[in-house]
Amino acid sequence: MSVFHRFWDSDFAWDFRHSPVAVVSFLVALLLVLSALFAPLIATINPFEPGNLNLMNGFTAPGTQNAFTGESFILGTDDQGRDVYSTILYGMRISLFVGFAAVALGMLIGVTLGLVAGYFGGWTDAIIMRIADVQLTFPSILVAMLIFGVAKGFTPVEYRDQLAIWVLILSIGLSDWVQFARVVRGATLVEKQKEYVQAARLIGRGAMPILVRHILPNVLSPVLVIATISLALAIIAEATLSFLGVGAPSTQPSLGTLIRIGQNYLFSGEWWILFFPSATLLALALSVNLLGDWLRDALNPKLK
Amino acid sequence: MLSYIFRRILQSILVLLVVGLVAFAMFTFIGDPIDNMLGQERTQDDIDRLRGELGLDQPFVVQYVKFILSALQGNFGVSYEQGRPVAQILAERAPATLELAAVSAVFALSLGVVLGVYTAIRRKGFVANLVLTLSLIGVSLPTFLIGILLIYLFSVQLDWLPSFGRGETVALGGWTTGFLTSSGLTALILPSITLGLYQMTLIMRLVRSEMMEVMRQDYIRFARARGLPERVITFRHALKNTMVPVITVTGLQLGSLIAFAIITETVFQWPGMGLLFINAIQFVDIPVMAAYLMLISVMFVGINLIVDLLYVAIDPRLRT
């Protein structure tokens, strides 16, 4: 039996096939991720190349012909004549990149600290978990804002716009490591009592190989669940920060920045500049969120 | 018991001191306040004089202790951007945020309890299911999108409610209030719904699950057997017993209400502390950021402490 067949017959895959919510949200998320990935191929133009823009095209409504140039755009254009459809594709790239990178960073920090805290216990554990408790007292969006503000202060003014994306990743990543650390620590505490760990210790393996080769693979499934839910939260956090003007700059707009720009035209009737980025963000966050919910139930039936 | 309270208070003070250290480190290591405060035409003498005046030539620990002591007296330094004392700016902005948070909390609590009880009693009803589904969508929507949606609906399309600002305010001593004018009251509606919606769904779900739990208890069955009217059972017997967790959660959520006000205040251009904080981040106005951080940590840590102590007071099992 091939690997594919084995996977198709597994409980996990059966569960997936029989959950319409999971299938639909998976397809939506996949479509959005792929279109962000291949944005340069399917976008009509690169909207962030100033040479491609024609200001005369500004404020063209979706599906109508521009009065001056005669061009038409499927989702309309914004104030600078950028094709909204293309800005969304490129904006989603940045949203997803920041989301994935921030979760990866949070996961790396959280899993490492969780393993160390759970395995070594004692003072190490007390200090790490105390820091986690303090951080958990504050909502993570506030922590992210604060880290963003501090990091912005450290970067020289002339590099601020270029580095904004990395600062954003850093601030969201640092604000969500706690969830990973708590879960991994709990799982490690259970795993380290088990016989295979004792056997590994008995034959003289060091702490590092035991943690990485033996314990880590056994604590990964809850990490996967948290990572998916964190991804939805990170995408929303990124959009929120960018919307508030403390995230992705307008030269490298994410979905949140696009919504921020679109909000300016809410009263003048150019609804499409705001509506399409918002709908995309919603579809993205909702599908990843529902997928995470399903994953949690599928991987851990006890939680149902 | 006493030692637990003592330890808990000590812990809170320690957390606040650490937050103070973070705030102070922001001052010390980010940029040079001298650069921000003196213009282009400064001499070395000016720089040295100001450095001495601000105490920036002293060792780190001395500066930290001074910083904490002056913060305790409500002195957070001078805003780099506005050139006025931060404490004064915060005092001007605080009423807007506190009124908004208070109205949101009342909205969340009252509607949350009502809808929670309703969805628990009419568990299979169409309206109850509709409310639950809508609440799920509401929770998935980012706060700022809810705000924009409400503005679009009630300000742009229907033109019923104002979309930004506080309306007319009345000054009562040092406190400006929007409660006394009609424009102030209408201006409160959309922002407080935006801010309170998440907490409302949270409370609704909590009340619903607690109510369903309580309705299964024996004493409810006995109350029914005694022939008490359903209304009395629901509100006097069942609801009362769901209130302890609800009050705890509401208390803990008060802090995040003030933190999330940052987003709501930006959407509605509400002149509160959150908007001030966002502007401070954009301008890297460290004194304002640090003061806001300290103020909000005092609130968070204080609320957590009070809730923990109330737990001990309510639940005898914790008194060991």
Q: What is the pLDDT of residues A154-194, one digit of tens each?
A: 777 777 777 888 888 988 998 889 989 998 998 888 888 88
Residues 6 or more apart in contact with residue A97 via CB below 8 angstroms: A165
Torsion angles phi and psi, residue A65, rounded to 5: -90, 135
Give A153's contacts in chain B (Cβ within 8 Å).
26, 30-31, 284, 286
Tell me if B241 is assigned to some domain. Answer: yes
**Alpha-carbon distance A195 to nearest alpha carbon in chain B (angstroms):** 35
Grouping H, G, I as helix, E, B as strand and the rest as coil, residue B20 is helix
Q: What is the pLDDT at residue A304?
A: 40
Closest CA to B19 of B308, B320, B299, B293: B293
Inter-chain touch A137–B301, beta carbons under 8 Å: yes
Rounded Cα distance, A194 and A201, in Å: 11
Is residue B308 scored above 50 in pLDDT? yes
> Taking residues B207-220, what's their average pLDDT?
84
> Taking residues A78-100, what's their average pLDDT?
84
Inter-chain touch B141–A282, beta carbons under 8 Å: yes
User: Confidence band (pLDDT; 50, 70, 90) for B56?
Assistant: low
Inter-chain touch B143–A146, beta carbons under 8 Å: no
Helix axes B2-29, B60-72, angle to 10 degrees: 120
- Any idea which of A26-40, B30-44, B155-169, B186-200 has the lowest mean pLDDT? B30-44
Question: Which pairing describes strands B170-172 and B175-177: parallel, antiparallel, or unpaired?
Answer: antiparallel
Total residues found in chain A within this entry: 304
* Residue-range domains of chain A with CATH: 3-44+82-303 (1.10.3720.10)
Q: How many structural domains does chain B have?
A: 1
Q: What is the pLDDT at residue A303?
A: 44
Q: What is the pLDDT at residue B38?
A: 64
Closest CA to A93 of A30, A36, A169: A36
Rounded Cα distance, A23 and A287, in Å: 10
B96 touches B177 (CB < 8 A) = no
Tell me if B49 is assigned to some domain. Answer: no
Helix or strand (DSSP H, E) at A265: none
- Any idea which of B1-10, B23-32, B146-155 has the lowest mean pLDDT? B23-32
Tell me if B177 is assigned to some domain. Answer: yes
Q: What is the pLDDT at residue B9?
A: 86
DSSP per residue over B155-166, as a string?
IIIS--S--SS-
A215 touches A282 (CB < 8 A) = no
Instruction: Please indicate if any CB of chain B lies within 8 Å of the CB of A156.
Output: no
Q: What is the pLDDT at residue B132?
A: 82
User: Confidence band (pLDDT; 50, 70, 90) for B320?
Assistant: low
Q: What is the pLDDT at residue A101?
A: 94
Q: Which residue of A has its CA nearest to B159?
A: A267
Is residue A109 scored above 90 in pLDDT? yes
Rounded Cα distance, A89 and A35, in Å: 7
**CATH classification at residue B261:** 1.10.3720.10
Rounded Cα distance, A14 and A227, in Å: 22
Instruction: Please indicate if any CB of chain B lies within 8 Å of the CB of A134.
Output: yes
Q: Which residue of A has its CA nearest to B303?
A: A137
Rounded Cα distance, B161 and B72, in Å: 41
Grouping H, G, I as helix, E, B as strand and the rest as coil, residue A72 is strand
Inter-chain touch B148–A146, beta carbons under 8 Å: no
Inter-chain touch A282–B151, beta carbons under 8 Å: no
- Any idea which of A140-144, A153-157, A298-302 has the lowest mean pLDDT? A298-302
Most A CBs within 10 Å: which of B12, B148, B292, as the mutation test of the A interface?
A: B148
Most B CBs within 10 Å: which of A243, A258, A273, as the mutation test of the B interface?
A: A243
**Alpha-carbon distance B14 to nearest alpha carbon in chain A (angstroms):** 10
Instruction: Please indicate if any CB of chain A lies within 8 Å of the CB of B294.
Output: no
DSSP per residue over B44-67, as a string?
HHHHHHHHHHHTTTS-HHHHHHHH
Inter-chain touch A153–B30, beta carbons under 8 Å: yes
- Any idea which of A52-61, A120-129, A241-250, A265-274 has the lowest mean pLDDT? A52-61
Tell me if B120 is assigned to some domain. Answer: yes
Beta bridge partners of B175: B172
Residue B258: Cβ within 10 Å count: 26
Inter-chain touch A282–B300, beta carbons under 8 Å: no
Instruction: Please indicate if any CB of chain A lies within 8 Å of the CB of B286.
Output: yes
**Token couple for A171:** 């601030």
Inter-chain touch A274–B148, beta carbons under 8 Å: yes
Residues 6 or more apart in contact with residue B304 via CB below 8 angstroms: A137, B12, B252, B255
Which of B267, B286, B301 lies at the smallest CB-CB distance from A153? B286
**Alpha-carbon distance A176 to nearest alpha carbon in chain B (angstroms):** 16
Inter-chain touch A141–B259, beta carbons under 8 Å: yes
Tell me if B26 is assigned to some domain. Answer: no
Torsion angles phi and psi, residue B78, rounded to 5: -115, 135
Most B CBs within 10 Å: which of A25, A95, A244, as the mutation test of the B interface?
A: A244
**Token couple for B103:** 């109205």
Cα-Cα-Cα-Cα dihedral sign, residues A84, A90, A94, A100: positive
State percent of chain B over pLDDT 70. Answer: 91
Q: What is the pLDDT at residue B245?
A: 78
Tell me if B119 is assigned to some domain. Answer: yes
Residue A4: exposure state from Cβ atoms within 10 A (0-12, 13-18, ≥19):
exposed
> Taking residues B206-211, what's their average pLDDT?
86
- pLDDT tens track for B104-148: 999 998 998 889 888 888 878 888 888 888 887 777 778 888 888
Tell me if B299 is assigned to some domain. Answer: no
User: Confidence band (pLDDT; 50, 70, 90) for B246?
Assistant: confident
Instruction: Please indicate if any CB of chain B lies within 8 Å of the CB of A146.
Output: yes
Give B78's DSSP letter: B
Rounded Cα distance, A45 and A124, in Å: 53
Instruction: Please indicate if any CB of chain B lies within 8 Å of the CB of A244.
Output: yes
**Alpha-carbon distance A206 to nearest alpha carbon in chain B (angstroms):** 35
Torsion angles phi and psi, residue A46, rounded to 5: -85, 105
Is residue B224 scored above 80 in pLDDT? yes
Inter-chain touch A266–B262, beta carbons under 8 Å: no
How far separated are the first and last CA of chain A, in Å rounded?
A: 32
Domain hosting residue B122, numbered range:
91-272
**Token couple for A253:** 């707009």
Inter-chain touch B266–A243, beta carbons under 8 Å: yes
**Token couple for A144:** 């992210």
Q: Is the pTM of this model over 0.90?
A: no
Is residue A146 scored above 80 in pLDDT? yes
> Taking residues A124-128, what's their average pLDDT?
88
Tell me if B200 is assigned to some domain. Answer: yes
Which of A154, A236, A263 lies at the smallest CB-CB distance from B142? A236
A153 touches A79 (CB < 8 A) = no
Average pLDDT, chain A: 82
Beta bridge partners of B78: B85
Cα-Cα-Cα-Cα dihedral sign, residues B224, B226, B230, B233: negative
